[in-house]
Structure 1
């Protein structure tokens, strides 16, 4: 993967021994996104699935909703710029507003979210369920789908699964970017994620949970730990959260009825 990594001379220590070696380092680039000729954001990311990342970001921030909202997308890979022409967004400036605190979903569950999250996020209605062994299989696949991590130790990875099969996969230096890339890939493929699983290499924060809710995915399987705020949101939004997933071990934190023995 010559475009996604570089080599760097390092001094490697092994006990008292010091040796100069060439090490592989993951690349990080600033990707600047323009929507209807206005600069929207600059994302620090891996130079992979750039257009999918752009589309997923625009979906999850409320700029676009359906493929017909996108008229044209152009990418300059040398200067890391993307221009998207699409359906006019009347709330374009408001959608990039600062965070605020809101009480949502009742019973005094407080969460930090973007202003547009309060409008975009609704409880997941899917009754989709999976076998426990299927959850183990996704965890095993996630562990095997880490060649760049094993080479560099510097990326997150994730995927979308259905019936035990990985339908979409992605990776990036940023865990948020992994979800945006998956969302953008599904968007391009006209794939509804309501009866799918997302598996992910990192921890589950409230912001990650909100991205899953926006994608309308009912089950999230992660190798890392969830936060208490993420679990409060997951309960309120009817999302099954699984953490510490390994080949034959995992913790089911919320909405356990979706996991069948």
Structure 2
């Protein structure tokens, strides 16, 4: 298994006291993705769930739609390269140019400025509902999940839940990668997410909302705050967004009818 952390010697200051010590730092790698022998993108990511990340990225960008579209996956872990052979895709030449994708926000990430997003994203029709207590349970899970965050403070985390159970999780230095990894695992397992909940440790910007829309998940629960553009898109796409989620606190921003409370009178 690839090491996910490294040790770095630092000078730690505590008031006027200075001390040299070894600190644990999360690793970041540049993963170059090829599809049908064409270099598609370089993803800056954590060295975990590499195949899930690749499949999720290709799915969310419109290269693949069903598992049968993927013929073969090969990796070169030493040089951070991965090759996917699959069904030829018209988007590959017409709508997708090679991009250098950073772990942070930026114009290189997917948004409606790319034509394939407008083609792929449709309003959610799911009538799935969850209790407020179930929402709190996912928030509590996010608070206790991942010893790697406790050690480094350098990663985002997320998961997919159903009827109060956590079905899968992911983590990465890049928040977009968290969603691609979840998408990739769901893709592999042929899991339809129309009646599932996605939960996430970070804030909800518009590109994150689009990731959830592409997953076709009706409910997103996040520990962080949403942006106005994300909420406008959530309203248009009929996605329930909950933010500032803590163990017994949450803000319900859009499509509140999917949240069952003791009192349904608002």
The TM-score normalised by the length of structure 2 is: 0.92
- Once the 2 structures are TM-superposed, how far is the Cα of residue 90 of structure 1 from its aligned partner? 1.9
Q: C-alpha displacement at 1:142, in angstroms?
A: 0.8
Task: Write the deviation string for residues 47-72 of structure 1: whole angstroms up to 9, x where unpaired.
Answer: 00000000000000000000000000
**Paired residue for 1:81?**
81
Structure 2 distance, partners of 1:145, 1:192, is 24
Cα pair 2:2 2:48 within 8 Å, conserved: no
- The 1-side partners of 2:229 and 2:12 are apart by 40
Q: What 5-or-longer segments of structure 2 have no aligned partner?
A: 100-110, 262-266
Q: How many residues align?
A: 250
Contact kept? 1:62, 1:95, Cα under 8 Å: no
Match of 1:225 in 2: 225
Distance between the aligned counterparts of 2:2 and 2:191, measured in 1?
A: 30
Q: Secondary structure of the equivalent of 2:231?
A: helix
Counterpart in 2 of 1:102? none
Contact 1:194 1:217 in 2 (8 A): yes
Asked if 2 retains the 8 angstrom alpha-carbon contact of 1:11 and 1:21, the reply is: yes
CA change 1:2–1:70 in 2 (3 A) is closer
* Helix, strand or coil at the partner of 1:245: strand
Residue 95 of structure 1 and its aligned partner are, at CA, apart by: 2.7
| SS class of match (2:157) | strand
Give the secondary-structure state (helix, strand or coil) at the position aligned to 2:13. Answer: strand
Please name the residue that 1:212 is paired with.
212
Contact 1:98 1:115 in 2 (8 A): no
- Root-mean-square deviation (Å): 1.4
Does structure 2 retain, via aligned residues, the 8 Å contact 1:202–1:222?
A: yes
Structure 1: where are the runs of 5+ without partners?
100-110
The answer to whether the 8 A contact 2:40-2:97 is kept is no
Taking the aligned partners of 2:113 and 2:230, their CA distance within structure 1 comes to 11
Counterpart for residue 107 of structure 1? none
* Equivalent residue number for residue 161 of structure 1: 161
Cα deviation for residue 96 of structure 1 reads 1.8
In 2, distance between residues paired with 1:45 and 1:95?
24
Question: For the residues of structure 2 that align with 1:193 and 1:95, how far apart are their CA atoms?
Answer: 26
**1:181-209 superposed Cα distances (whole Å, 9 cap, x missing partner):** 00000011111111000000000000000
SS in 2 for 1:117: helix
8 A Cα contact 1:193 1:216, kept in partner: yes
The residue number in structure 2 matching 1:55 is 55
How far apart in 1 are the matches of 2:153 and 2:24? 9
Q: Report the counterpart of residue 38 of structure 1 in structure 2.
A: 38
Instruction: Confirm or deny: 8 A CA contact 1:209 1:234 kept in the other structure.
Output: yes
How far did 1:75 drift?
Answer: 1.2
1:6-40 residue CA offsets vs partner (Å, 9 max, x unmatched): 00000001111000000000000000000000100
Taking the TM superposition and a 5 Å limit, the aligned residue runs for 1:1-261 are 3-97=3-97, 112-261=112-261
Distance, in Å, in 1 between the alignment partners of 2:112 and 2:227 is 13
Q: Deviations over 1:204-238 (max 9, x none)?
A: 00000001000000000000000000000000000
Distance 1:255 1:121, change over 3 A: same
